[in-house]
Structure 1
């Protein structure tokens, strides 16, 4: 077995909607290990993005226990969460969330600057593999959706994080571009020994991951890929 990256024990999370309470996660147990790649599937609104947000520290659990890198994350202060997100975490959002005033190169360099790390041969390799060399001086709002998603992937992997959270990374792409992005994402994550937890509605995208978790009615079950 590999080293534990993420471990949830009896984790529950819900929301109040007026006078109704929605149980999104119901005493979930799961573990993600070093070099795991996992597709998280389930119906719309079942809590997939909520689970990613909990692991990234953007939302907090109601009960249970969240361990990150064998540490009890419930004991973490804001400074520790910030350090984790800056150094160990990469995130690929469905809506890209690129910094529109900046060009492609400066967007990719953003995570490096946060970590006070220089541009490296690894980043040059990322840009080359993702087909961004020709557009690295272009402002991101001038790019196609597929190019913007590639920039988002390069930015998320530039600092070689230990964990990558990806929320529908091909949701805005056509089938061909989506296939290419998934191929590159998994190859590059493998090269940098990054674990992946990816939300997807696509069976084709899920096939790129080694494991598959299905979330429905608050419960997670592992299913064959």
Structure 2
């Protein structure tokens, strides 16, 4: 039986602006299973980043049920959410969000230390595949955009998460660098059967995913 990584049932999310409600997700259902790789597209403002934030626990739905790793999250407290993000979730942000006081090695090792883990052969493999070995002692603010993006991917995968959420992970890169990063991201995630839900405006990047979902009027269309 395939493990269910994310299941949303009847999720509605509304924001209030000037006393007026704006519904971005409307009774949305979706299912993401282990090893699925999915590109999420949609026009700006359609709720793509909101959906990622709900799955990561950074925001809460108004109504509906969200299950992660076959566990319903309605009763989760901050400690439950922190544990999920620490152990089972990797995130690649559009702006990288690297820890600028630290060098490359310490950035990659950060999620390991949160889990009481040491640098290991998987980290060596990530560093080798992402061509980061010569950069390990460099501070991240001295790196190019493409180099920082590869560090962000290594950090997100270092603790072997069950789920990777990526919000426009190649949005700051040129086309050649974007396709190179996508190829490596998919190969590395595939080695651990990590599920990927990736927001993107790039059809070239979306083609690297097994499936494509479009978010329109608060609903997922495949």
Distance across 1 between alignment mates of 2:140 and 2:192: 25
Secondary structure of residue in 1 paired with 2:112: helix
Alignment of 1:1-225 (within 5 A): 2-222=2-222
Distance across 2 between alignment mates of 1:79 and 1:135: 35
Distance across 1 between alignment mates of 2:126 and 2:170: 18
User: Which segments of structure 1 move beyond 6 Å, counting only runs of 4 or more?
Assistant: none
Secondary structure of residue in 2 paired with 1:75: coil
When the two structures are superposed, what TM-score results if normalisation uses the length of structure 1? Answer: 0.98
Secondary structure of residue in 1 paired with 2:122: helix
Distance across 2 between alignment mates of 1:84 and 1:73: 10
Distance across 2 between alignment mates of 1:188 and 1:66: 27
* Deviation (angstroms), 1:77: 1.2
Distance across 1 between alignment mates of 2:85 and 2:10: 24
Distance across 2 between alignment mates of 1:148 and 1:161: 20
Deviations 1:38-61, CA, capped at 9 Å, x for gaps: 000000111000000000000000
Secondary structure of residue in 2 paired with 1:74: coil
Deviations 1:58-107, CA, capped at 9 Å, x for gaps: 00000010011111111111111111000000000000000000000000
Distance across 2 between alignment mates of 1:81 and 1:199: 22
* Deviation (angstroms), 1:19: 2.4
* Deviation (angstroms), 1:193: 1.3
Secondary structure of residue in 1 paired with 2:159: coil
When the two structures are superposed, what TM-score results if normalisation uses the length of structure 2? Answer: 0.99
Distance across 2 between alignment mates of 1:138 and 1:176: 24
Distance across 1 between alignment mates of 2:190 and 2:180: 15
Query: What are structure 2's unaligned runs of at least 5 residues?
Result: none
Deviations 1:10-62, CA, capped at 9 Å, x for gaps: 00001011122110000001000010000000001110000000000000000
Distance across 2 between alignment mates of 1:78 and 1:19: 29
